[in-house]
Amino acid sequence: MNAIGDRFTGVALDRFADEAEHLQLAITTRTVTTATPDGTISVEVSADGHVHRWQVPGTIDTDASTLVATVIGLIEEARTAAQHSLHDEIDAITGNGEVRAVRDAVRDVLASAPSRSLPDARTAVTDEEDEPFHASSIRAPDW
């Protein structure tokens, strides 16, 4: 790449890194609150599934298993909604022309780079006396 392309790529990569850090923070801090239709039970959950707050009234006319199932369902609903809100942001970032240009430039550079073959591990590793390295001599007993 030329100097202008390198500078453009560097600026775009810095912006992309900043946006990635923002998204990582948003995964744990952006919350969505869901509640039962009557509003008596509510939960606040982040996209990573962490329950930040929940509220159940002191008295409720339901059995324990129904209450637990309701709370778990609300948690899943809130977590899914929080994740969908992040997906919208991710789509906005990946749809950004600068990000697409950097991705394409990096792909082109990697595609044009000469491939280097790695040395054969059996002959490349030697010990201090330049003798080939051999596998461990520890063996399982023959029982």
Hey, what amino acid is at 32? V
* Distance between CA atoms of residues 35 and 41, nearest Å: 6
**Full domain range(s) for residue 23:** 3-114
**Selected residue with higher pLDDT from 115 and 38:** 38
pLDDT at 4 over 60: no
Domain presence at residue 136 = no
Domain-located, residue 130: no
In this prediction, residues 24-45 reach a mean pLDDT of 90
Q: What pLDDT is recorded for position 60? A: 82
Residue 125 belongs to a domain: no
Phi and psi angles of residue 18, each rounded to the nearest 5 degrees, phi first: -60, -40
55 occurs within a structural domain: yes
Indicate the average pLDDT of the chain.
75
The domain spanning residue 85 has which CATH number? 3.30.1310.10
**Domain presence at residue 139:** no
Q: Could you tell me the pTM of the whole model? A: 0.55
Q: Does 121 map to a domain?
A: no
- For the segment 119-135, the average pLDDT, to the nearest whole number, is 52
Check pLDDT > 70 for residue 58: yes
Reported as a pLDDT band with limits 50, 70 and 90, residue 35 is very high
Q: For residue 93, tell me if it sits in a domain.
A: yes
41 domain-assigned: yes
- Strands 51-55, 42-46: pairing is antiparallel
What is the rounded CA–CA span in Å between residue 5 and residue 3?
5
The three state secondary structure string of 12-81 is: HHHHHHHHHHHHHHHHHHCEEEEECCCCCCEEEEECCCCEEEEECCCCCCCCHHHHHHHHHHHHHHHHHH
* Total structural domains within the chain: 1
Q: What pLDDT is attached to residue 130? A: 52
